[in-house]
Amino acid sequence: MTSPAPKVLILLGSPRRAGNTAALAARIAEGAEEAGAQVESIRLNALKISPCQACDGCRRKEKGCVVDDDMQGLYTKIKEADALVYASPVYWFSMSAQMKAFMDRCYAFGVNKYNDLRGKKTAVAMSFGDRDAFESGCVNALRAFQDSFRYTGTNLVGMVYGSADGAGEIKADTDLMDRAKALGRSLVLTEA
């Protein structure tokens, strides 16, 4: 009997369908699919994700976050996934607002008794316009991701990030695109 294909969920934090972040995520998806994964990409910009209300309802109820919006469906997909890819452009020295709203709502996963992120494999893909990862703010976002992964006990498999100004220009960086594809394979083939 064969085991089911691992599930990789890509969370796209860019409003652009064909932007640089989407190009990196597509290469990660390609690598993961070649390694035998079932991949689903979710455009956060197309969902209604309200800000965290700091109500601590997730701390009082077994089901998690009590805000009724599209995040409820994402919680289910996250629970079912074996690996998660967080893909975001850098806007104003950090991750996009779409990704930040999603990340804030992951506060519901911080309760040990129902931390559905613990042990999952994760990866990060980021694009930025400046030539420097520090000056652009990319490093700020990477650190925020790393801190949240450490807190929730996820296994960071790797990160890919690069600079490009115009939408889709990142595809010209063949080394970066190759590393993105290799990261997709690693998400599937690396032990948790």
CATH of the domain at 87: 3.40.50.360
In a domain? residue 182: yes
Go through the chain and tell me how many residues it has.
192
Q: Two tokens at 82?
A: 């074996």
pLDDT at 80: 95
Residue 160 near residue 187 (C-beta atoms within 8 A): no
Measure CA of the first residue to CA of the last residue in the chain; give whole Å.
22
Q: Which two tokens stand for residue 125?
A: 């893909």
In a domain, 46, yes or no: yes
165: tokens are: 């100004």
Beta bridge partners of 123: 85, 158
**Does residue 160 contact residue 179 with C-beta atoms inside 8 Å?**
yes
Please check whether residue 1 lies inside any domain of the structure. no
Q: pLDDT tens across 104-127, in order?
A: 999 888 765 568 888 999 999 999
CB distance 95 to 88 below 8 Å: yes
Q: What is the pLDDT of residues 141-192, one digit of tens each?
A: 999 999 999 988 999 999 999 999 888 899 999 999 999 999 999 999 988 6
pLDDT at 2 over 90: no
Question: How many Cβ atoms are within 10 Å of 182's Cβ, its own excluded?
Answer: 15
26 occurs within a structural domain: yes
Asked if residue 8 has pLDDT above 90, the reply is: yes
Domain that holds residue 56: 7-189
Structural domain contains residue 2:
no
Q: Is the pTM of this model over 0.75?
A: yes
